[in-house]
């Protein structure tokens, strides 16, 4: 019964998170920023986050703030963007940056993290905090 309740809670939480991710607009009219597409890969020793940043030209236009359990990315678009043929709301706004806050699936070591930026794709490798140790059999 206890295990069943925990599982259903986990499923509810998962579905709620997935639903809110899909339902959340991919832009913020007040901050004039766009939400970039993000991919999070949970590997054995590290978490690899990649971010699609079109129109971002220089690595110096990107800031990455890493905490043990989260990550915030901001990237500046040098020449603000807007198109006549776009959504009714979006086409009235000049967007000038990307911003994304990511909750990480496990704790990482911010100081050992590293990032590269190539072809408009930012890749951040975040080593996990090691909690496992190899022991000898007595």
Partner 1 sequence: MLKKIEIVEREGIKIDEPTVIEGFPDVGLVGVIASSYLVDKLELVEVAHIESALFPPVMVLHKGILTEPVRMFSNGKIIVVTSEIAIPPKAIYDLADVLSDWFKEKKAKLVVSLSGIPVQNRMEIDTPSVYGVGNSEKWMNIFKKNDIEVMEEGFMAGIYALLLKGCLKRGIPAIAFLSQSFLNYPDPGAAASAILSLNKILKLDVDVKPLLEKADEIRVKARDLMKQAQGTMGAVRKPLEREIPIMYH
Catalog residues that contact partner 1 under the rule CB under 8 A.
18, 21-22, 26, 34-37, 39, 52, 54-55, 81, 83, 86, 118-121, 123
DSSP 3-state of 14 = helix
CB of 129 to partner 1, least distance (A): 25
- Please, which residue, 5 or 85, has the CB nearer to partner 1? 85
Give the C-alpha separation, 85 to 134, whole Å. 58
CB of 28 to partner 1, least distance (A): 13
Give the C-alpha separation, 56 to 1, whole Å. 51
Report the run of H or E that residue 5 belongs to, with start and end.
helix 2-23
DSSP letters spanning 52-76: E-TT---GGGEEEEE-SSEEEEEEE
- Please, which residue, 64 or 81, has the CB nearer to partner 1? 81
- Please, which residue, 74 or 107, has the CB nearer to partner 1? 74
- Please, which residue, 58 or 68, has the CB nearer to partner 1? 58
- Please, which residue, 90 or 109, has the CB nearer to partner 1? 90
CB of 118 to partner 1, least distance (A): 5
Query: Nearest CA to 104 among 53, 13, 40?
Result: 40
CB of 33 to partner 1, least distance (A): 12
| Residue appearing with tokens 């806050």 | 101
């Amino acid at each position: 019964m206890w295990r069943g309740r925990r599982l259903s809670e986990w499923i509810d939480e998962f579905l709620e998170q997935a639903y809110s991710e899909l339902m959340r607009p991919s832009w913020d009219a007040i901050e004039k920023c766009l939400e970039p597409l993000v991919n999070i890969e949970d590997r054995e020793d590290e978490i690899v986050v990649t971010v699609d940043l079109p129109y971002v030209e220089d690595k110096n236009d990107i800031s990455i703030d890493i905490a043990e359990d989260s990550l915030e990315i901001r990237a500046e678009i040098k020449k603000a963007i807007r198109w006549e043929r776009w959504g009714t709301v979006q086409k009235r706004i000049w967007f000038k940056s990307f911003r994304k806050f990511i909750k990480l699936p496990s704790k990482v070591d911010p100081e050992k993290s590293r990032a590269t930026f190539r072809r408009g794709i930012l890749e951040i490798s975040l080593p996990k905090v090691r909690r496992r140790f190899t022991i000898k059999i007595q």
